[in-house]
Structures are given as C-alpha cells and as structure tokens.
C-alpha cells in the first residue's frame, strides 16, 4: 500500500464518492470519526464498487449494441 496520509485518503474517498470524479464535500467531523485503517477500508470498498459498476455498465452497453446490430 502506498504511504498516504489521512488527509490524502479522505481526498481520494471524496473523489470516489462523486459522480463525475470531482471532489465532494463531506462533513469533516464525520470523517475524523474514522481511524486510518477504517478509511483505507472505505476507500477499497468504494474502488471495488466502482469497478463492479463499470463492469455492469459495460455488459449493459454490450447488450444494447448487440440488439441494435
């Protein structure tokens, strides 16, 4: 795992949560509640969900493409 600070992890989490890849605002008090390992776990879960969503989207688009041809 790369050496990240808690602030860098929070920034990455905010970006993963956003729809368009920009950073979103999250109540800083809420994020301070989590320790470093919990933030790493949250980041990993968000990355996994993003990969799963991309796979589902690709499958759906492939299905639509096949129907149109």
Greater confidence (54 vs 1) lies with 54
Total number of domains in the chain: 1
Distance CA 4, CA 68 (A): 46
Q: Would you call 10 exposed, middle or buried from its count of C-beta atoms within 10 A (0-12, 13-18, 19+)? A: buried
Q: Would you call 13 exposed, middle or buried from its count of C-beta atoms within 10 A (0-12, 13-18, 19+)? A: buried
pLDDT value of residue 27 = 79
Residue 1 belongs to a domain: no
pLDDT digits (tens, 9 = 90+) for 15-64: 888 877 676 787 777 777 899 999 999 999 999 998 998 888 888 888 88
Residue 47 belongs to a domain: yes
Distance CA 10, CA 15 (A): 9
pLDDT value of residue 20 = 78
* pTM for this prediction: 0.72
Q: What residues make up the domain containing 30? A: 6-68
């Amino acid at each position: 795992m790369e050496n990240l600070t808690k602030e860098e992890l929070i920034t990455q989490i905010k970006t993963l949560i956003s729809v368009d890849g920009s950073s979103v605002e999250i109540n800083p008090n809420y994020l301070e509640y989590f320790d470093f390992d919990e933030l790493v776990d949250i980041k990993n879960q968000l990355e996994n969900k993003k990969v799963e969503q991309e796979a589902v989207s690709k499958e759906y688009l492939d299905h639509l493409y096949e129907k149109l041809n």
